[in-house]
């Protein structure tokens, strides 16, 4: 078991807390006038994405987690697991739906993602910030519809439903920000 002192906390370092793997988003060393120093942190759970505020005593030892980031390609799903291929060695990994439920709506076959691997097992994947998907269903646009002034729901090829401007039609390809799930532009 490899440990790290809370004094050495930096953004991007991964730790194990209560059996879960977290990455440090922010850390701040605080030395109050009275009492002992402490380290205030924001930790992101790599499985759930939940962000936790946690305070540690200065010089406290915490178990360090070594995670690896790999380029992967989404292949398919069987209803319970989603299958990805490592683009370096072509090894295939399966990830349970529950671990990636927030990004499923934007997963398209052959899309490249970044997989987070811990102890040889993928625990989550990250989508690129922007992806392009085809609109498969939306109400038709009308003459005079402009880019501003509201929008309408559109179903994308992955099944996701997002708001798009009135001028977007079935068959158009749109760019989406995967962090917010919002329309960016028509491609």
Each residue of 113-122: pLDDT tens digit? Answer: 999 888 888 8
Quick one: CA dihedral 15, 20, 23, 28, positive or negative? negative
Query: Could you give the 3-state DSSP secondary structure of residue 127?
Result: coil
Name the one residue in this structure whose structure tokens are 């370096």: 88
Compute the distance between CA of residue 95 and CA of residue 49 in angstroms, rounded to an integer. Answer: 15
pLDDT by residue, tens only, the chain of 187 residues? 689 999 999 998 999 999 999 999 999 999 988 888 999 999 988 887 788 999 999 899 999 999 999 999 999 999 889 999 999 999 999 988 888 888 889 999 999 999 988 888 888 888 999 999 999 998 886 655 555 567 889 999 999 999 998 888 999 999 999 988 899 999 8
Instruction: Tell me the pTM.
Output: 0.75
Q: What is the DSSP string of 83-124?
A: EEEETTT--EEEEEGGGSTTTGGG--TT-EEEEEEETTEEEE
Compute the distance between CA of residue 108 and CA of residue 67 in angstroms, rounded to an integer. Answer: 25
User: H or E segment at 186?
Assistant: strand 182-186
Joined together, the tokens standing for residue 20 give: 């879960």
**Domain 3-63 classification at class level:** mainly beta
**Domain 130-186 classification at class level:** mainly beta
Compute the distance between CA of residue 17 and CA of residue 19 in angstroms, rounded to an integer. Answer: 5
**Sequence spans of domains, the chain:** 3-63, 67-126, 130-186
Domain 3-63 identical in fold to domain 130-186: no
Protein fold of 67-126? OB fold (Dihydrolipoamide Acetyltransferase, E2P) (2.40.50)
Residue of 125, 65, 71, 127 whose CA lies nearest to 94: 125
């Amino acid at each position: 078991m490899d440990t790290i002192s809370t004094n050495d906390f930096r953004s991007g370092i991964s730790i194990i807390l209560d059996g879960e793997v977290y990455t440090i988003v922010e850390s701040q060393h605080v030395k109050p006038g009275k009492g002992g120093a402490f380290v205030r942190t924001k930790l992101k759970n790599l499985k759930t994405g939940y962000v936790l505020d946690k305070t540690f005593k200065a010089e406290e030892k915490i178990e360090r987690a070594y995670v690896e980031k790999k380029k992967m390609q989404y292949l398919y799903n069987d209803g319970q697991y989603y299958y990805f291929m490592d683009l370096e060695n072509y090894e295939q990994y399966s990830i349970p739906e529950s671990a990636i439920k927030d990004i499923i709506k934007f997963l398209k076959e052959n899309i490249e993602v970044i997989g987070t691997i811990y102890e040889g097992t993928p625990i989550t994947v990250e989508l690129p910030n922007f992806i392009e998907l085809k609109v498969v269903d939306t109400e038709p646009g009308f003459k005079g519809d402009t880019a501003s002034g509201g929008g309408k729901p559109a179903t994308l090829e992955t099944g996701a439903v997002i708001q798009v401007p009135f001028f977007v039609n079935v068959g158009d390809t749109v760019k989406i920000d995967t962090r917010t799930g919002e329309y960016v532009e028509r491609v």
